């Protein structure tokens, strides 16, 4: 029983790290652009497929980790600006329903592009996991990749992102636009540039989530949709736009799902959503969200 508990905890931690990387990009983009980007799941999927392809191409095990990073960066800096400038910039002033439909359409299109490029056969490339080897923890042999690399990268992203947003001028301009776009413009902040930068960061984070997930699972069509639904559950449970909240909630949902896998497997799929419903019934703004009061 003790071993099972430990295994569930380790699995949950690794899973939470993956989910956090995707959810944090989603919540960052929503916080600034006020658009719930359903196509975020496609960026995850394309990041995963591209990472697998690059890892296969480089062939050399010690370069495989670099290949994962390159895949995330490439998706972020190429697809991010193209989507933001080419599509989203045209719908910022439109109704939320339309924005949701447009990003949903983009998800569908990118799903098909992904099938066109990589086909529908499962793709599996675990060189980065093999490269880092295994380690024994409390009697359980576990991969270093999942035990240390995934949680380590997630923690690093959280710390760097929090530092960037609070301590750098560029970060503070992002926070200012998050609070009040018009007031930010009135003090000299170029909100168009902030939108572009934020979306590019969000896209790179989604792709990084995909790239890091790729060596641990078989890539099949539909992983983007699964991911966006789960990420949305994390973001909604935390409170839209809350970065530290997304980390805590990803941990809660990751561990919840993992313990369900080992102890009540029939509930595995629904546990994240049960947690979301339970939280939102009690706190509609999410665990870390707040209803904003406006002083008059």
Joined together, the tokens standing for residue 147 give 């035990």
**Nearer CB in complex with other proteins: 120/170:** 170
Q: Residue 134: in which H helix or E strand, if any?
A: strand 134-137
Joined together, the tokens standing for residue 227 give 């991911």
- Phi first, then psi: what are they for 30, rounded to 5°? -65, -40
Q: Provide, rounded to whole angstroms, the least separation between the CB of residue 289 and other proteins.
A: 14
Residue 296 near other proteins by CB under 8 A: yes
31 to 70, contacts with other proteins by CB under 8 A? none
Q: Provide, rounded to whole angstroms, the least separation between the CB of residue 169 and other proteins.
A: 5
**Nearer CB in complex with other proteins: 135/170:** 170
Q: How far, in Å, CA of 218 to CA of 214, rounded?
A: 7
184 to 213, contacts with other proteins by CB under 8 A? 184-191
Tokens 């080419």 belong to residue: 86
Q: Which stretch binds other proteins (CB under 8 A): 88-96, 109-117, 128-136, 179-187?
A: 179-187
Q: Which stretch binds other proteins (CB under 8 A): 65-73, 87-95, 174-182, 254-262?
A: 174-182
133 to 172, contacts with other proteins by CB under 8 A? 169, 172
Q: How far, in Å, CA of 103 to CA of 88, rounded?
A: 8
**CA-derived radius of gyration, the chain:** 19
Q: Provide, rounded to whole angstroms, the least separation between the CB of residue 146 and other proteins.
A: 35
Residues in binding contact with other proteins, number by CB under 8 A: 20
**Nearer CB in complex with other proteins: 133/188:** 188
Q: Judged by CB under 8 A, which of 3, 82, 137, 183 binds other proteins?
A: 183
Closest by CA to 246, choosing from 26, 14, 15, 13, is: 26
**Nearer CB in complex with other proteins: 45/184:** 184
**Nearer CB in complex with other proteins: 66/175:** 175
Asked if 170 contacts 164 with a C-beta cutoff of 8 angstroms, the reply is: yes
Concatenated DSSP letters for 135-184?
EEETTEEEEHIIIIIHHHHHHHHHHHHHHHHHHSHHHHHHHHHHH-HHHH
Using CB under 8 A, list all residues that contact other proteins: 169, 172-173, 175-176, 179-180, 182-191, 294-296
């Amino acid at each position: 029983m003790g071993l099972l508990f430990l295994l569930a905890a380790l699995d949950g931690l690794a899973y939470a790290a993956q989910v956090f990387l995707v959810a944090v990009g989603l919540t960052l983009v929503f916080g600034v652009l006020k658009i719930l980007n359903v196509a975020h799941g496609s960026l995850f999927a394309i990041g995963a497929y591209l990472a697998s392809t690059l890892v296969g191409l480089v062939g050399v095990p010690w370069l495989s980790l670099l290949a994962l990073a390159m895949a995330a960066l490439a998706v972020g800096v190429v697809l991010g600006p193209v989507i933001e400038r080419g599509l989203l910039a045209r719908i910022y002033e439109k109704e939320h329903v339309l924005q949701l439909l447009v990003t949903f359409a983009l998800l569908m299109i990118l799903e098909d592009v992904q099938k066109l490029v990589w086909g529908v056969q499962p793709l599996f490339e675990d060189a980065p996991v093999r490269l880092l080897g295994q380690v024994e923890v409390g009697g359980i042999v576990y991969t270093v990749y999942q035990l240390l690399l995934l949680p380590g990268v997630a923690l690093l992203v959280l710390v760097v992102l929090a530092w960037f947003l609070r301590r750098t001028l560029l970060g503070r301009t992002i926070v200012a636009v998050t609070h009040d776009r018009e007031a930010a413009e009135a003090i000299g902040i170029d909100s168009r540039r902030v939108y572009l930068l934020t979306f590019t960061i969000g896209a790179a984070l989604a792709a990084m989530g995909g790239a890091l997930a790729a060596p641990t699972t078989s890539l099949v069509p539909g992983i983007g949709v699964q991911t966006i639904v789960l990420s949305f559950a994390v973001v909604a449970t935390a409170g839209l736009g809350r970065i530290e909240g997304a980390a805590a909630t990803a941990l809660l949902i990751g561990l919840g799902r993992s313990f369900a896998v080992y102890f009540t497997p029939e509930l595995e799929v629904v546990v994240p959503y049960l947690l979301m419903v339970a939280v939102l019934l009690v706190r509609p703004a999410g665990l870390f969200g707040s209803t904003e009061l406006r002083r008059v």
